Amino acid sequence: MIMSLEKLLRNDTAYSNKARIPEHKPGLKKIAAFLAHSGDSWFWGAGLALLWLAGPKPWRPQIALLFLGILFTAVCVLVLKFSIKRPRPEGEWGQVYRSSDPHSFPSGHAARATMLTVIMLLSGFWWIGLIMLFWTMLVDISRVGLGVHYFSDVLVGTLIGVVMGYLAVFVYGLF
């Protein structure tokens, strides 16, 4: 039997609410907040810019690939977010996200983290990619645990990240 969209969204909300980090675990909330912020686009953009300026010149093609991947993934996610306009879950944490981007679907953090991981795995940096795979899962879980996303936001963001990572490596390989 096919589940209705309404029932799917209700279940998504219920399971996502159950996965929230309780208020009586502030230490866990701090760890999750660090992980959630580690997927921020400004953080990755600034880090890649610093690597471009101060890192070894042979790294520049990889840095350019990662930066372009972030840019194109952001455009894809924002088009979907502002087309679908699913509100974020109710909550107090993450006011910077809630005020600058009130839409939750899909998760830009999940898309970005996955895309970066896929690029590293496919472009010869598999050992970094394996570490990033673990990091990506923690970023995704933290976004739901802190109540700024639903599970479906993260799932679709992850799928977008896989596609964008493959696409970025393919397109970059053409040049």
Three-state DSSP string of 102-113: CECCCCHHHHHH
Q: Is residue 147 part of a domain?
A: yes
Q: Is residue 90 part of a domain?
A: yes
pLDDT, position 118: 96
Q: 111 phi and psi, to 5 degrees?
A: -60, -45
pLDDT, position 71: 93
- For 37-95, give the DSSP string: HTT-HHHHHHHHHHHHHHS-GGGHHHHHHHHHHHHHHHHHHHHHHHHH-PBPPS-SS-H
Q: Which residues contact 86 (CB under 8 A, 6 or more apart)?
A: 103, 104, 105, 153
Q: pLDDT tens digits for 68-108?
A: 999 999 999 999 999 999 998 988 777 777 778 889 999 99
Amino acid code (one letter) for 66:
L
pLDDT, position 101: 83
Q: Which residue has the higher pLDDT, 95 or 45?
A: 45
Q: Is residue 113 part of a domain?
A: yes
Q: Which residue has the higher pLDDT, 124 or 47?
A: 47
Mean pLDDT of the chain: 92
pLDDT, position 175: 63
| pLDDT of 138 strictly over 60 | yes
Q: Is residue 3 part of a domain?
A: no
Q: Is residue 116 part of a domain?
A: yes
| pLDDT of 116 strictly over 70 | yes
Number of structural domains in the chain = 1
| pLDDT of 2 strictly over 80 | no
Q: Which residue has the higher pLDDT, 42 or 162?
A: 162
Over residues 158-175, mean pLDDT: 90
pTM for this model (two decimals): 0.90
Over residues 125-130, mean pLDDT: 92
With CA atoms as reference, report the closest residue to 93 among 27, 158, 38, 144: 144
| pLDDT of 1 strictly over 60 | no
Q: Is residue 6 part of a domain?
A: no
Range of the domain at 110: 24-174
Residue 148 banded pLDDT, cuts 50, 70, 90: very high
pLDDT, position 57: 94
Q: Is residue 19 part of a domain?
A: no
